Amino acid sequence: MKIVFQSVFTLIILVIGVWLFILVPTPNNFVQGLGVAALFVYPLAIAFYVSVVGVLGVSLWSLVAFIFKEEPYKEDTKTNKKYTYNPEFKTKIQELNTAVKHTDPTTGLTVSMPSKKSSLLFSTFKVGSLIVGISFASALAIIAFFTFVIKIDSHKSELKTYSTLYEAEDYDDSRIKYYILELDANSQKLIHSDNTYDDVVANIKREISLECIRVFRKEHNATKNHQADMQIENFMLNARNRSTTTDDMRELSIKKEYFLRYNHSASSYSLRTPSLELEEKCQKIMSVDTIFKKAMPLYIQYQEKYLEKARSYALTYSTSSKYLKSQEKWVKTLHARYPLD
């Protein structure tokens, strides 16, 4: 009768186990619609799947083992008391069954140490933890490896752009050529600047030069041709490449371009705002330095507004405090280096 109950309970547990295995989402379910991010999520999804399935499998196995666990033998002292009971002998047998021998290396004496018997629950926990640990450690190692490889490939690809001559039609227009020279001059200043303020100033002047080039290219209908309009960024890239003639300068340029692209404190003020009247100033062939003097106060006002937004965010989200401090420092630097009269 006992084996019948054990078999029935085991069958029920196996059915429940199969149902749970089916419910576990597969790695492909996790990465649907993630695009490029799937490259990094997929190893973690596999680790999660292996961990859940492994722990579930070990738990089911332990549960079945518990059901079929035999009861420990108990000596019938009532029937055999007259013939087998010997307290001293019984104690020695128990000591032998529950002890392991250990030799002390200093004295050479052999002593008995109590053996430790792990419970079934604790063993299951240890095996489950081992599966989870190995799975996620492997996933993180894979992610770290591919991140390193992708970073190296990306860096090599970016370095190649510094030796590329991009198509940028100047239509033999002297006005466009003038602002190309201004673009080159400020690209040089960006490479040789040694602080964030000068980096941002040089970048704003590059943007002014580029916008003036765009203004004059409109007269040649460049903006009506999508392919020709896309060339506008090529003027910036060519000027950057002409300004970086050594490997060290290229490495420095990559770092500065990355900072200007992704650092919120250096985000440029839109030069196309009506209040700047940039197109009129370009048509007058004003120098970039002259236009910059008109643009910088507007840029500082924009950064002050950004500071106010950062303060309101910091009141709501505690994680925004570091951005608030960074923006406060940046606005203070702007006022110190370019005081508004």
Q: Is the dihedral of CA 276, 280, 282, 285 positive or negative?
A: negative
CA gap 239, 243 in Å, rounded: 6
For residue 323, give the amino acid letter.
Y
pLDDT at 97 over 60: no
- What does pTM read for this prediction? 0.60
- Mind listing the pLDDT tens digit for each residue in 55-74? 777 777 677 676 666 555 55
DSSP string, 317-339: -GGGHHHHHHHHHHHHHHHHHS-
Cβ neighbours of 190 (radius 10 Å): 25
pLDDT band at 285 (very low <50, low <70, confident <90, very high): very high
pLDDT in tens, 181-210: 999 999 999 999 999 999 999 999 999 999
Q: CA 143 to CA 130: how far, in whole Å?
A: 20
pLDDT, mean of residues 107-114: 52
Least trusted range by pLDDT, from 41-55, 136-150, 298-312: 136-150
Higher pLDDT, 11 or 117: 11
